[in-house]
Structure 1
Amino acid sequence: MYRQIQIHPDDRRFQNIWWREHSNEKLRLLQLSTVTYGTRTAPYLATKCPQTLAINNKSKYPLGAAALETDFYVDDGLCGANTITEAVEIKNQLINIQTYKVRKWSANHQQLLHGISPEDQEVDLNLLDEEHTSVKTLGIIWLPKSDHFRIKVNTETENKVTKRIICSELARIFDPVGLVNPVTVQAKMFVQRLWQLQLDWDETLPEEMHPKWDRFRSKLKELQHIQIPRHVNNQSEKKNPKTTQLHVFCDASQGVYGVAVYIRSSFPDGTIGVQLLASKSRVAPLKTQLIPRLELCATLLGANFPTRIKTDLHLEQSKMFLWSDSEITLYWINSEPSKYQVFVANRIVKIQELTLSEQWRHVSSKLNPADMLSRGVNPQDLELETVVIQIEAILNSRPITPQSSDLNDLIALTPGHFLIGEPLTAMQETSSVSSGSLPSRWKASAQIQQTFGQDGQRNI
């Protein structure tokens, strides 16, 4: 990308180099006419040029300009649309805006790559081929054909395990939105324990801790079997949702606290989809704190975390509900901060600035999905716990009786209405497991859900 951006002729005198092809030739003074690697201004110019192009073309190419301004990081872009027609138009406008050649195209639909030469495509999107070619975009592994994200784990066997090696291996697990936080949080607590022991970077782990890390590292490979749908509103044949809500669950334990953000989408056909959007966790301070104080830290994190999510996903108008299983914390949030000590009072003030008291709800510990964050789970258990939660939602969404006598009203009363006032999720579609190209473990998970969904329909 750098070499495709021209430097203004008046500024090229600052990029002089001495050059010769062979040692017996005379030195020549040359001026570099493009952005040059290694110069201090290069990253700024590479970022500023696309932004300037977007500003200058907002009126002529509004869709392409918006994508170029908000969905690009240097020369990598991640963007999408609600319809194929809109996505094709964004692609065409991006091509017209850019003054340099755009390459490494990748998409989850063949029509989006129409007109792009094969050498400019990142992967061959042959939908008839069962092989799932992956694309690495901004550190995230994406499977375009199935439209899923995948976690890549690189673990190397080392005879000598040190704090440096452990931190290096953990840094290789790139999970920017916290989709596998319940697993990695165990490693965070393990590293905190190493700091408590005051080990040097290259000092071998104590004998009692070495087997624990070996067992955890051997299980990390299980994360590669987990695939996460990229499209969070993929219910109801990918129709656009009528309304969306954000539900933020907070929880804490003696060692860690965290939040899990779910998006709830209501579709025009009456179905409802709920999916994990992001999560975040932090290890508790080394200085021992009471559980209610840690729960308060979790609720503060829950008040802060969704702010960026709503901005990035343009969900500013969506309703947000925050859930905690700590009645003490909920009482604090609805109280006057001046009554408490500084630690509690400061956090109450920040929470009240970011949220409204009526947004907070109580959830029992057994039903709080953030509980997995606060205690951690093994990689092989993450899939099972997800299946159990989804099955529970399916069973509690089976129709019992119509809600009204109107024949056009297709919304039925479900057990979920007695639990939370509404169905928990849409009934599992019978066609959800039809492709033999799905990974076997994910396919088995979907088959279990489908079985429970069909049983629920037969028992109506």
Structure 2
Amino acid sequence: MYLFGKRTEISEMVRRDFYVDDLMTGCQSIEEGLTIKEKMTELLQRSGFLLQKWVSSNQELNLQISEDLGEKKSERGKDIKTDEYSVQLPPQQKPITKRRVISDISRLYDPLGWVSPCVIISKTFIQKIWLSGIDWDQELTSDLLREWESYRKDLEHISKCQIPRWVETRPDDQLIELHGFCDASVAAYAAVVYIRVVDAEGIVKVNLVTSRTKVAPVKQQSIPRLELMGAVLLSELITEVAEVMNIPKSNIHAYTDSSVVLAWLSDHPSRWSTFVGNRVSQILTSDWGDRLTMQELQMNQYTHVCLILEVVHWWSWLLQAPEGAYCCGLRANEKYLKSPFFW
């Protein structure tokens, strides 16, 4: 509580930019970085906390703040010199059993969902293994083994995906927007959030911020219900991102290609079944629930099997879109509401 007695920029960093005992923040210049280090160290030392192992993506700043930079690659895939992240694939273990497959998959460290199109395939494969009923230390059946080896071979290219840490935001940017998309298939549903920046010179830059995927339940659900679950996933994800990045509601845009979901959202939750009503209520009570619009999506990379090397080009398509072109502005039509399908 002592740290928050006086509201300053440094105390705000303590509140906002700590993950457990690690400070993760940024600056616009070397001078600002040195000031942050000095003031942060002084503030925390008053309460008996000592910050150590300072490191920066700027090598000149590193020479002034740190003597021990460690290895080129951090244990979690961070390349300090290029300021990029990558996902590392653990070595294959044999024989290929249920236990070893699940162990391999769990070691794919991707907390922000930067390579979700790859990881979701492994999630659906785990579901298949469980449904097959084989024991933990039993080798996979021939069909499952072929599928796993094909996926594993494709997955070897995942380390070629280099994800920049910096999403190219600056204090003098003209506009910063969040664009969130959700979609679903019979196998899975997903949500993804991009940041779209118009800098001081009017240049548009787009970067992937985060995504989240979930395997469809074993108990079969209709596609519209899965689309609704994807919309709920997006509501949770984009709310978290907007709060962390301090993006105003007016700059948040959310999209779905499901006219059924928009129809559900256009009326009071009490009109629908318990399953639908609860999820509609959750979306509408979020800060951006009234900003969900319809757009034909190209998100099959998240909800269908994909090739690993095809992932990268999906990240920057908003870069090509002029203002407003990414939203067709469609809303639910009254004819959908009259259908008994929604009850």
- Normalised to the residue count of structure 2, the TM-score between the two structures is 0.85
Task: Return the offset for 1:53.
Answer: 6.7
Aligned residue runs from structure 1 range 312-351, under 5 A: 312-316=244-248, 319-351=251-283
Match of 1:116 among 31, 55, 65: 65
Distance 1:106 1:228, change over 3 A: same
Residues 225-250 of structure 1 deviation map (CA, whole Å, 9 limit, x = unaligned): 1101111126xxx6742221111100
Distance 1:74 1:329, change over 3 A: closer
Give the aligned residue type for 1:372.
Answer: Q
Partner of 2:99: 164
CA-based RMSD of the aligned residues comes to 2.6
Query: Looking at both structures, which has the greater relative contact order when contacts are Cα pairs under 8 Å and sequence separation is at least 6?
Result: 2
Residues 22-49 of structure 1 deviation map (CA, whole Å, 9 limit, x = unaligned): xxxxxxxxxxxxxxxxxxxxxxxxxxxx
Task: Return the offset for 1:419.
Answer: 3.4
Task: Return the offset for 1:64.
Answer: 3.8
Partner of 1:135: 74
- Residue 107, structure 1, aligned to residue 56, structure 2: yes
- Residue 270, structure 1, aligned to residue 270, structure 2: no
Partner of 1:283: 215
Aligned residue runs from structure 1 range 1-20, under 5 A: none
Take 2:102 and 2:78, find their aligned partners in 1: how far apart are those partners? 25
Match of 2:325 among 413, 416, 419: 419
Distance 1:54 1:218, change over 3 A: farther
Task: Return the offset for 1:215.
Answer: 1.7
Take 1:148 and 1:259, find their aligned partners in 2: how far apart are those partners? 23
- Residue 208, structure 1, aligned to residue 154, structure 2: no
Take 1:174 and 1:150, find their aligned partners in 2: how far apart are those partners? 9
- Residue 85, structure 1, aligned to residue 31, structure 2: yes
User: How many percent of aligned residue pairs carry the same amino acid?
Assistant: 27
Take 1:376 and 1:212, find their aligned partners in 2: how far apart are those partners? 12
Structure 1 contact 259–302 (Cα < 8 Å) conserved: yes
Match of 1:373 among 270, 277, 302: 302
Residues 5-64 of structure 1 deviation map (CA, whole Å, 9 limit, x = unaligned): xxxxxxxxxxxxxxxxxxxxxxxxxxxxxxxxxxxxxxxxxxxxxxx67347x56xx444
Take 1:378 and 1:154, find their aligned partners in 2: how far apart are those partners? 19
Distance 1:255 1:89, change over 3 A: same
Structure 1 stretches of 4+ moved >6 Å:
none
Distance 1:114 1:94, change over 3 A: farther
Partner of 2:3: 54
Task: Return the offset for 1:356.
Answer: 5.0
Give the unaligned 5+ runs of structure 1.
Answer: 1-51, 124-132, 398-415, 423-460
- Normalised to the residue count of structure 1, the TM-score between the two structures is 0.65
Take 1:180 and 1:105, find their aligned partners in 2: how far apart are those partners? 28
Task: Return the offset for 1:149.
Answer: 1.1
Partner of 2:18: 72
